[in-house]
Chain A
Amino acid sequence: MNIPAVAGRLALNRFVLDEERPHIVVNQVLAKSTGTAERIIAVCPAKVYSWAADGTVAVEYAGCLECGTCLAVAYPGALEWHYPGGGFGVQFREG
């Protein structure tokens, strides 16, 4: 079977994007000093997090699957993460 890369897999899902209110905010200083950055980049099944060219952690919150794994492995305070507002975010058609 042809296995699409993560971006292609996410494109199969329906997302309702809340452009005005990102539901994820990274505390860049804490994320780097605590190792949270490496952890969340590796652990996220949707590849929401990546290293930006300027050395900060970039966040593609639009493709978030809302599992909460990043928050579970983050150092307390390094990541502000809550569910998107009602009706926003991923909308599973199969589940």
Chain B
Amino acid sequence: MNGGGGAPVDFDVIVIGAGPAGLMTAHSLARVGRSVVVIERGEAVGSKNLSGGIMYCHAIREVFPDFLDSAPVERLIARNVLVFGTGSGHVAIDYADQRLSAAGTAVTVLRARLDPWLAARCEEAGAMVMPGLRVDSLLIEGGRVAGVVAGQDELRSHVVVAADGVNSFIARGAGFRPPPKMSQLGVGIKGVVKLSEAQINDRFQLAEGQGAAFSITGEVTGGIGGGGFLYTNRDSVSVGLILRLDDLTAQGGDSSVLFEGLLANRFVAPYIDGGRLIEYGSHLVNEGGQAMMGDIVWDGLVAVGDAAGLTINTGLTVRGMDLAVGSGIAAAKGIDAALAAGDATAQGLAGYPAALRESFVGQDMSTFAKMPAFLENPRLYRDYGQLTADVLRGVYNLDLTPRRPLLSLARQAVRESPVRIRQLLADSLKAVRAL
């Protein structure tokens, strides 16, 4: 079979980028007998890949039922903590539940370990994985994508999968996707701090093998839209920040100094005390939600995962890897159907967006479509943590003056804060709608 009736192909499908999106696409296609190559620019699979570290894993467990036992996952999340930092302390919601870990909902992962495991599953299924090679551009013939150019070489395929991550250079370079706005991106900065397994169990109050995910907002970002995180790996902690680029540049913030401030923060520091920093990385994060998706299918080309703008930040959870997995599975469905029909045009590949819309990925992207606009509200990062702390202070700060009912304390705290009652009510309503 020939793609557009042109030259013979080297592979049915060429996947650019060996992250979860590309590898799951390749795995699903290889499993149904399609010839697939995954081209990865890192020296080894996983060496360019960085994430905060929480992977919601129901989708990948459907493909690999042994995932939790066989894959190099770090810890099963049993505790989620949401922290609002204030100038003088913090207010936290601490949710620990054995039902979460028993259900195997989320794990912490380190990508230099997880992604090679996924690549090995791809190879077992019959896909070829080629690390150490950078795809420079798409091979475009007669208006359709016919393969890729890597250095002196051209490789041809019926379909190319752009799984090249958040920068999405492949689709952008060919003019298929517009560059994102600054408000649609955040920079994630992460350190990995080595501690012993026992230290982590003690400090985070965890049973063996169980993990915690802390999401920290407020003063840690210096009032810049975004937040901090603290995730437990087996014998290390991932600690970092995500800072929205429009806000960061408008305030002239220095990202490396903010990272240092996070590590020294009075809430964060005790958790990593005595540890040793072993890695420092940064990575862009899609923050635009559904508005960022746009087109994901063209003649001979599809985009998956981060390259397709698939990230959901609800303020409580940040999701990317599960959406990458889901989009890879949906893309493989659409590509397999297109290959069977001998039509790899955008129309022939329409099974992918259709499968994506029906899957949890499309449904959740749509459910949380209003979240990015809600999260642009600066009061979330500057005022509400302080306001909550001020109300609670009224409750706990017993000082011989007569006590007042909670509602009266709350009214006074709002009066003294820069937040107006009208804004508080409007923001509450928006929060309920966005979530």
Contact = CB atoms under 8 A, between A and B. Distances in A.
Nearest to B255: A45
A91 B47 contact: yes
Nearest to A68: B167
A8 to B, nearest CB: 9
B62 interface: no
Contacts of B255: 42-45, 69
Contact of B111 (A39, A73, A91, A95): A95
Given A43-B249, A94-B112, A10 B280 contact: yes
Interface residues of A, number: 38
Contacts of A84: 41, 134
Contact of A13 (B43, B272, B279, B283): B279
A51 interface: no
Interface stretch (B27-35, B95-103, B180-188, B201-209): B180-188
B253 to A, nearest CB: 7
B245 A69 contact: yes
Contacts of A10: 280
B44 interface: yes
B269 interface: yes
B51 interface: yes
A25 interface: no
B368 interface: no
Interface string B239-253: 000000100110011
Interface in A29-87: 38-39, 42-47, 65-69, 71-73, 82-87
A90 B182 contact: no
Interface stretch (B259-267, B291-299, B369-377, B407-415): B259-267
A42 B254 contact: yes
Interface residues of B, number: 62
Contacts, number: 144
Contact of B133 (A12, A47, A86): A86
Nearest to A82: B169
Interface of A: 1, 3-4, 6, 9-10, 12-13, 16, 38-39, 42-47, 65-69, 71-73, 82-87, 89-95
Contact of B253 (A42, A66, A90, A91): A42
A24 B319 CA distance: 30
Interface stretch (B189-197, B309-317, B327-335, B379-387): B189-197
A89 to B, nearest CB: 8
B42 A91 contact: yes
B115 A95 contact: yes
Nearest to A41: B254
A93 B236 CA distance: 13
Given A12-B277, A72-B245, A95-B51, A86 B252 contact: no
Nearest to B272: A1
Given A10-B280, A67-B283, A92 B48 contact: yes
Nearest to A42: B254
A95 B169 contact: no
A39 B284 CA distance: 16
A85 B115 CA distance: 20
